[in-house]
Structures are given as structure tokens and as C-alpha cells.
Amino acid sequence: MRFITEKNLSKIIIYVFIIIMTSMIFMISYFYVKNTYADFETQMEKFVQEHYTNQEVVLKKDIDTIVDIIKYNAAKSEEDETELKKDTVRLLNNISYDREKSNYIFVYEVLDMNGGDNFAKLLVNPNRPDLIGKEISTNYKDINGKKFREIFMNDIKVKGESYTKYAYKKVFTKEIKQKLSYFKYFERWNWVIAVGVYVDDIEQDIAQKRKLLKHTVKNQVVQNILLFLLFLTLAIVISILVSQKIDNVLKVYRKKVQSNSTALKELNETLERRVEEELEKNREHEQLLVQKSRFIALGEMISNIAHQWRQPLSELSSILMNIKFKYNMGQLDDEIMEQKAKEAEHVLDFMSHTIDDFRNFFMPKKEKEKFNLTIAMDSVMTIISSSLSNNKINITICVDDSILLNTYLNEFQQVLLNIIKNAKDVLIQKEIKKPWIKIYSEIKGDKIILYIEDNGGGIEVEPRGKIFEPYFTTKKDSDGTGIGLYMSKVIVDKNMNGKLRVRDGEFGARFEMILPK
């Protein structure tokens, strides 16, 4: 049972379209959501890195501000260094800080740059008032075993500042949290001034940023999926409309097919009769064509016989007049009579031989025979030479005497005669000065090519092959029928298993007769 038919074709098209579109939309949506959240994670990683970098910049900026304030106060005050230090400690203890983030300022007075148990005294630290004024050690470790004081002192000795992460008690709580601090060495008073921020405060900012960004991404995803679904809905509606249109087209198509089928059935019923009628017409046409060709050939034969006999008849008339003249003068003796009789007999033999040549030329032969190309051309020249001579057309023949052909002799001679006669007619029609025809041969492999070339200016018909069509002629109505070249090509191509072609030579047309050896 066929699954796809004309009746359900439109439905199958719409179902397939819906399945494809739905699959595409879901695939696009899936990859869009996947890529969007992947981009979200990438953006968050970038934000975290930038946020930590910004925090470091802020911490450094806060300490630089404090150092600038200390230097400014020291430059204006006339107090001694001890009082200036006390005033500065009081000032730093009075600086408020953001309790939400616990980013307070703390100060060490360095006693030993190389570190140790008593490397410094804590001067300012709002988070550890219990350590104020006490000496502290670089050997102190946080809960992770990290000697963070030793780390920042090593950095200070090298570059005068340090960013250090460590675990420390958070302000107003007993919890130990990770902290990022910036330490800077104030060489004038041998102080280390620092400020820090707890990592959980940074993470809180990051969490808020993540929540906000995630909400934005979610809204974008929902909007785009809704747009995808809307597009899918529109596509389905359009496909339904197109399906209905296809149904209408198929209905019209089915009606046309049914109508054409009826007409085809009627045509098939009458086709055999029509074919027979056309074949009969073609047979009649071919018979008329052959009959017309025969009449033309007969007319050409009579014309050529007349050309060939004109000179012998003139000679015979001259002999008779000479006999009559001798007889009237009483000078006709046996010797003269015998001489003139021999001359007349010679002329009559020539005329009889001419009749035999023409009779053999036009005698139909259906058997192939082997013949010499030169001898066959001599027979053709016997027929056409007088006509060419009377029109002062020079013909040159350059053919290999050893060439033998195995084909239909009479038909070959008819084709050759017809091409030469066409060339003669063109030369006469165009009034060519010093007209000539050249015939020469060439052997290529197992083929013999015979060229017939003239200086008549070439073929002016496009395409050139049109001259081989039946009834095509460039002559006046009374001078040509258009049958000759058509029949010639039929004879060469079909009967002789060769090819008859025409090309433009240097001075005129060049016919090529290609025959197997």
C-alpha cells in the first residue's frame, strides 16, 4: 500500500514541515540556552577577576590617601616627631570604616625588619584592642598554618608593599574569615600601614552581581524562546495555508491529467492509423523525389551528350561537305572516298563510345565493385569536360593512381559529377574571372579523402550544412531543384558508409568525400 498519494501529499508535506521546524526550533533553543549560560559563566569569571583586581586598587588607594594625610600634617605641624606620631595614631583610631564590609585601618610600628617574635608593636587595630601597644611576632600562624606577617614583611623588604591573603577574626564576631589586606611601609616613622577587606564581603558583592546577571539572562532566554515559539506558530500557519494552496493546485493538476489521459487514449487509438498515413505520404514523397532526381539526371545526360556530340557532328558535317565538293568538282576518286569514309567511321566510333559511357554511367548497379579511382574520374570527365571547356573553366586533377575503392561505382560517379556540376554553376553564376576547379586526394589511416575545391567565393549560407537539406537551393527557380546535394549526401553517408562534408577553402567552397578504403 502506497504511503504517499496525491490525496494525502499536502498533509504529508505539512506534517514533515512541522516536524522539521519544531525540531529546528527546539535544537536552536537548546543550543541558545546552553551557549547563553556558558557565556554567563564566562562573564561571571571575568567579573570575579575584575572585582578582586578593583578591590586591590581600592585598598591601595585608601592607604595612599592615609599616607598623603600623614605627610601633609607632618609638614604643617611644628610638633616633634613623638607628638606627631601620637596625633596620627589618634587620627587613625577616629577614622570610621564601613561596618558592613569591616574594611578598617591597622598600623604596625616595626621594631625589627628581619622579623621574629618581637618584630613590631601594634599601634592601631579597631578589631583587636587587646593587642594595642603589644609586641607581636612574625611566627604567628593563622588557622591554616600560614605565617602571613612573615610573608608581608618579606614583600615589604623587597618592594615596600604587599598584598596578602590570610585567615583572621572578623569584626564584631568570633568567626575566622579569609581576608585580603594591603600593607605599605612608611619609612619615615618605620610604620607599616594596612587596610583589609574580608573575602566573604567580596563574595557577597559577587553573589548579588550573579543574582542580578542571572535574572537578566533568564529574562533574555524566556523572551527569545517565546520569539522562537511565535516564529514556529507563524511557520505552521503559513504551512497550512501553503498546504491548502497545494491541494488546490493538485486538484487542477488532476483534472488536467485526467483530460490529457483521455486525449492520450484517443491519440493512441488513432496513432497506428496516423503512422500508416504518414509513412505512405513519406513513401510517395520519396518516390517523387527519386523520380524528379531521375528526370534531372536524364536532362543533364541529354545536355552533356549534346555537348559531347557537338564537335563530332561538326567534323562529320565537314567530311560530308568535303565529299560533296569533291564530287561536284569531279575529283572524288576511290582513294579520297576511302579516306573520308575512314574519317567518318572514326567520328562515328567516338560518338558510339560516348553513348556507351553515358549508358554505363546511368545504368543502375546494386552490387559493390572494386575500381580504380583515376579510371572512375576519367569516365566522369568524359561526360563533363566539354561543358567545362565551353565555359572556359580550368579543372585540375591530382589523384594517386594506386587508390582503389570498393563501393558502388555508378553512385560514386553520380555524386562526383553532381558536385563538379554545382561548382561549375556557381562559377558561371558569379562570373568568376579565371575560374578553376581542383580535385585531389589524401589517405588518412583507413580512410580515403577526395577534395573538390573551387574559387567561387565560398558558401554564403549559415549554417553551411543547410545546403544538404532537400529542396534547398541558391539558384534561380529555373536553374536548380535542391535535390542534388541532398541525394549526394544520402548516397555517401548511408549507401557508401562514408561522410560528405563541406568547408570554406581559401578561395571558395571545398567538398570532402570521406570513404573507407
Instruction: Report residue 347's pLDDT band, with 50, 70 and 90 as the boundaries.
Output: low
Residue 450: per-residue pLDDT: 93
Residue 478: per-residue pLDDT: 43
Per-domain residue ranges for the chain?
A: 9-45+205-268, 50-199, 365-516
Give per-residue pLDDT as tens, 326-340: 788 888 788 888 887
**Phi/psi at 271 (nearest 5 deg)?**
-65, -45
| Rounded CA separation 509/92 (Å) | 118
Distances from the Cα of 275 to the Cα of 143, 286, 453, angstroms: 111, 16, 43
Give per-residue pLDDT as tens, 42-75: 877 887 788 788 888 888 898 888 888 888 877 7
Cell triple for 74: 607632618
Taking the whole predicted model, whether its pTM rises above 0.85 is answered as no
CA 227 to centroid of chain Cα atoms: 37
The letter for the amino acid at 88 is: T
Instruction: Report residue 7's pLDDT band, with 50, 70 and 90 as the boundaries.
Output: low
134 touches 122 (CB < 8 A): yes
Residue 196: per-residue pLDDT: 87
| Rounded CA separation 2/252 (Å) | 22
Q: Is 395 helix (H, G, I), strand (E, B) or coil?
A: strand
DSSP H or E segment with residue 171: none
Residue 452: per-residue pLDDT: 93
Q: By C-alpha distance, which of 436, 495, 496, 28 is closest to 224? A: 28
CATH number of 365-516: 3.30.565.10
The letter for the amino acid at 113 is: M
Percent of the chain at pLDDT exceeding 70: 83
Residue 435: per-residue pLDDT: 93
Of the two residues 155 and 80, the one the predictor is more confident about is: 155
Give per-residue pLDDT as tens, 390-436: 888 999 999 988 888 888 887 888 888 888 888 888 888 888 888 99
| Rounded CA separation 400/402 (Å) | 5
**Domain 50-199, architecture per CATH:** 2-Layer Sandwich (3.30)
Other C-beta atoms closer than 10 Å to the C-beta of 270 total 10
The letter for the amino acid at 392 is: K
